[in-house]
Amino acid sequence: MYKAISSLSGRCAALTRGSCSMPCLAYFHRASGALCQKSAFKPPSTDVPEMPPCNFSPEKYTGMSKDRMIEIRRQNCNPMTMKVTYYKKPVFIHQGYMQWLWDVDGRRYLDLFAGVATVSVGHCHPKVTAAAEQQLKKLWHTTSIYVYPTLHEYCEKLASHFPDPLKVIYLTNSGSESNDLAILMARLHTGNNDIITLRGSYHGGSPQTIGLTSNAAYKYPVASGFDSTNVGHCMANEQYIAQLKETFATSVPNRIAAFFGEPIQGVGGAVQYPKNYLKDAYKLVRERGGICVADEVQTGFGRTGSHFWGFQGHDVIPDMVTMAKGIGNGFPMGAVVTTPEIAASFAKGLHFNTFGGNPLACAVASSVLDTIREDDTQQNSLRVGTYLMTELAKLRDKYEIIGDVRGKGLQIGVEMVRDKASRDPLPPEAMAEIFEDVKDMGVLIGKGAIYGQTFRIKPPMCITKEDVDFFMAVFDKSVRNYMERR
């Protein structure tokens, strides 16, 4: 079985259970270790690991009460916000600095989720903050109907991070918008409509990108412009590619528009592909007239450590790259990077984006690129991420309910199971117990995967080994507490 599904576990869950975190194909029309024995109930220990020091002092919070915020959230905000507060006891965030967040009561948290893999170089990073402040004093907004330096300086700088022929840049406001634009460009360029993506994929929440997303939690019972069919289970590369060939033979027309894939799945649970899968898949897609789109919304800007872009780790060059999140360190921005040939096809109509690439967004994003270089952020992702995965692997071997540790750099997933024999997903209520415990001890992480069984660890890329040691103590204690309670 291929090792790519986990750089540390070296095995695939599909060998021992009926479902798998590996992304299997979806078509759109338009880990073993020593057992931790169950013990007799005893109250969990009350000692809490000591948090690393921080030399930053947040401002004292003097705003509205927590009760009032919840009342407004319930009455005036998007109703979904009440469902995604994430915790039984919500976290009321007041201020952030680098890898740290403070709530309205002044309590500090180590942020290992980064606003869903969005804060790349650190909350309110001084360099990025200074760049934003400087631009705010000069020009907040104008559009590309005028020629202004920040737009052109940024486009040239971003293009320098891509291999030829990926040199033409379209600036947007989000990852969903970037993927929407990529769908349109692919269809116009190829003259085809059909798009293939992967089981467990997430490419956005807009009406069109929901069609690309193969995860029921993000679906609505309305037509999304695509018809979807899930195909097969996880297999080694040779058989997995055979499934792609079968999809071409049975489920799509002879010609397709595009294949979308995240270099490492994000929402899907830090899922990786077998070695050479993307290379082989790209070849098959191009043989059928399609273009290959790498969704780098979560894997881009050095997060994987070994490369600046996730696709580089697969030794492929896509025809189009979409990005957002880390591009602006939390500032709302996105981009599509493509080839001159595809851009020429798109020039048949007028494309205009009022806010895409406005001066403030470009100044922030340009500073992010500078900061990644100056702070050696990519190398830190590799160094600290490798250390974190190595430590997590020790816990995988220690506890029966940690089924897999996978990922690369600082894009990591920890899959939780009932036991290593069945590899059935750990139930949601159990996940919630551990999740809440981790938060109560001062660490914020995420959850994901098709069954919600994977803890997602995607911190600001400035975290340290000392932060990792603190998290490991917290996570170890939280898992142990759960094992003692059950």
Shared domain check, 362 and 384? no
pLDDT in tens, the chain (486 residues): 232 323 333 333 333 333 344 444 444 443 333 333 333 334 445 688 999 999 999 999 999 999 999 999 999 998 777 666 678 899 999 999 999 999 999 999 999 999 999 999 999 999 999 999 999 999 999 999 999 999 999 999 999 999 999 999 999 999 999 999 999 999 999 999 999 998 888 999 898 898 888 877 777 777 665 533 333 344 568 888 988 898 888 888 899 999 999 999 999 999 999 889 999 999 999 999 999 999 999 999 999 999 999 999 999 999 999 999 999 999 999 999 999 999 999 998 889 999 999 999 999 999 999 999 999 999 999 999 999 999 999 999 999 999 999 999 999 999 999 999 999 999 999 999 999 999 999 999 999 999 999 999 999 999 999 999 999 999 999 999 999 988
pTM value?
0.88
Residue with tokens 């069109």: 208
C-alpha 402/C-alpha 389 separation (Å) is 13
Please identify, among 374, 394, 426, the residue that sits at the C-terminal boundary of a domain: 374
For residue 37, tell me if it sits in a domain.
no
Nearest to 49 by CA among 480, 479, 476: 476
Q: How many helices (H) and strands (E) does the chain have?
A: 12, 16
Shared domain check, 159 and 226? yes
C-alpha 171/C-alpha 158 separation (Å) is 11
Shared domain check, 151 and 296? yes
Enumerate the β-bridge partners of residue 405: 414
| Residue 346 DSSP SS3 | helix
For residue 81, tell me if it sits in a domain.
yes
Please identify, among 311, 346, 374, the residue that sits at the C-terminal boundary of a domain: 374
Q: How many domains does the chain have?
A: 2
> Which class for 355: exposed (0-12), middle (13-18), buried (19 or more C-beta within 10 A)?
middle
Question: Quick check: 304 and 381 in contact, CB under 8 A?
Answer: yes
For residue 311, tell me if it sits in a domain.
yes
C-alpha 259/C-alpha 464 separation (Å) is 37
For residue 28, tell me if it sits in a domain.
no
Q: Please report how many Cα atoms fall inside a 13 Å half-sphere around the Cα of residue 117, on the Cβ side.
A: 31
What is the β-pairing status of strands 446-448 and 454-457?
antiparallel
Q: What is the DSSP letter of 45?
A: P
CATH number at residue 131: 3.40.640.10
Q: Which residues of 164-188 are buried (b: 16+ CB within 10 A; e: fewer)?
A: eebbbbbbbbbbbbbbbbbbbbbbb
